[in-house]
Amino acid sequence: MAINLKDVWPQERDLMIRPERFKYVRKLIKPEGCVFCSALSKGVSLESLVVYQSENVMVVLNKYPYNNGHILILPTKHCGDINEIEEDAYNEISWLIRESFKILKESFYCEGINLGLNHGAVAGAGVPDHIHWHIIPRWSGDTNFFPLIAETKLIAQSLEDTYKLLKPKFETLKERS
């Protein structure tokens, strides 16, 4: 039995449109090469959204965050399969995930954190050829009707402000690694 949306949500709705995200989702924006390898080549900078980079791994702000502080952790070597990650890089990713939790809790006072990996295109990976983990700060009540009904999320902090907040904290990891 098909569900008629008007039966579930009969009122007229206002639409919030973010054309750049739509183009990305619909693959109308087709970056040349890998977006993560491109960011890697630019190094740690606001332009690349890279807040941390070592020989094996990097941390990048998600350009289309689900919440403030949404980061991605990935190996610097281009690979799409978890079994292709070199042992040193995998160990550093594990360490960096734990350290990122500490940094996000300290920076955003979040009450919880989602950690996710979409392994392959059919699992939902937007960039399936360069494996990456999503780390997303969460707060009580941070989900409202927008993401559920309108597929829209309001983000209260700019990527620039998030970058300025997180970059110095990730820089301290260089001293401890």
Q: Catalytic residues, which ones?
A: 132
Written as six digits, the tokens of 108 are 């955003």
What is d(CA 143, CA 104) in angstroms, rounded to the nearest whole number?
Answer: 18
Strands (DSSP E) found in 76-147: 112-117, 133-138
Phi, psi for residue 75 in degrees, rounded to 5? -75, 150
Q: DSSP character for 99?
A: H
Q: Of 108, 38, 102, whose CA–CA distance to 74 is shortest?
A: 38
CB within 8 A of 169, min separation 6: which ones?
A: 103, 106, 107
Residue 124 φ/ψ region, left for φ over 0, alpha for ψ in the -120 to 50 degree band, beta for the rest: left
Q: Is 59 exposed, middle or buried (0-12, 13-18, 19+ CB in 10 A)?
A: buried
